């Protein structure tokens, strides 16, 4: 009788230890996975607004930024208000930038679907727009620009809007004032001299997922966690076979 009680206490202790082991394993794995999914965010809050973006003013308005390295998930920027009945249409572009002679955009890496800032409901502050970038690769230290392109959406109805501005040390605002009757193509506009505004920055928020190789400590956590999980599953399987 004493021997059965002793064996029963051992079985109970093993079950408790296995539950503790599983909980520890889950904790270790969650810690390791979280460390692999770090995200970086460039955040430039709105501190004011700047008029003149659209058909009759700056048909391209852009902000350069320094890549943090990784896959860009989404960007939020701010446009408005507008008081034009037709609203203001535009596309969002992400481009590479040439700084060898002034600053001007080059290759388009991403272009959004058409976007529209409507008149109604009337807003008196810049409206946030969030665009998913689908994991756009960005290299650390490279210069890029996000751009509002009203030229591509021109419809013959002159309209303008403000854009949200902020303060950002990693880039400058650039623009292309083409006037109300622009000619040429986007590629030609990109190659033309651009107006550089070192005193201004556009407000925005850019989220980038880190894709760097995990540190050895992170890999060690993953190995330990997986090993513990496999070991606990094997022990449970052996116990079930003995009971049969």
Residue spans per domain, the chain: 2-38+214-243, 39-209
User: pTM for this one?
Assistant: 0.73
| Average pLDDT rounded to a whole number, residues 50-66 | 95
Tens-place pLDDT, residues 185-212: 999 999 999 999 999 999 999 999 987 6
Residue 35 clears pLDDT 80, i.e. is over it: no
Percentage of residues in the chain having pLDDT higher than 90: 61
* Confidence (pLDDT) at 158: 83
Quick one: three-class SS letters along 44-89? ECCCEEEEEEECCCEEEEEEEEECCCEEEEEEEEEECCCCCCCCEE
Query: What is the average pLDDT score of the chain?
Result: 83
Check the CA dihedral 165-171-172-176 and report its sign.
negative
Cα dist from 199 to 44, 45, 120, 165, 186, whole Å: 15, 16, 32, 11, 26
Multiple choice CATH, 39-209, 1.20.1630, 1.20.58, 2.60.120, 2.60.40: 2.60.120
| Average pLDDT rounded to a whole number, residues 24-50 | 71
**Residues 146/184, Cβ–Cβ less than 8 Å:** no
Among candidate residues 24, 18, 70, the one with its CA nearest the CA of residue 221: 24
Strand partners, 111: 93
Check the CA dihedral 82-157-115-198 and report its sign.
negative
Structure tokens at 219: 């890999």
Structure tokens at 244: 């049969």
Residue 36 clears pLDDT 90, i.e. is over it: no
């Amino acid at each position: 009788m004493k021997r059965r009680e002793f064996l029963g206490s051992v079985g109970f202790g093993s079950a408790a230890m296995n539950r503790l082991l599983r909980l520890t394993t889950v904790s270790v794995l969650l810690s390791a996975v979280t460390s692999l999914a770090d995200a970086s965010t460039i955040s430039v809050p709105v501190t004011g607004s700047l008029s003149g973006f659209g058909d009759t003013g700056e048909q391209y308005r852009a902000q350069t930024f320094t890549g943090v390295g990784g896959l860009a998930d989404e960007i939020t920027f701010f446009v408005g208000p507008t008081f034009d009945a037709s609203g203001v249409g535009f596309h969002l572009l992400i481009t590479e930038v040439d700084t060898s002679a002034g600053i001007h955009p080059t290759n388009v890496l991403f272009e959004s679907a058409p976007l529209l800032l409507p008149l109604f409901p009337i807003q008196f502050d810049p409206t946030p727009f969030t665009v998913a970038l689908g994991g756009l690769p960005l290299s650390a230290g490279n210069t890029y620009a996000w751009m509002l392109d009203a030229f591509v959406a021109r419809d013959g109805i002159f309209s303008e809007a403000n854009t949200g501005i902020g303060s950002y040390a990693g880039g400058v605002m650039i623009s292309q004032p083409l006037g109300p009757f622009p000619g040429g193509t986007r590629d030609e506009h990109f190659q033309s001299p651009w107006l550089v505004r070192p005193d201004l920055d556009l407000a925005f928020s850019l989220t980038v997922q880190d894709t760097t190789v995990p540190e050895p400590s992170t890999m060690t956590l993953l190995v330990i966690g997986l090993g513990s999980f496999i070991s606990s599953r094997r022990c449970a399987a052996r116990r079930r076979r003995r009971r049969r």
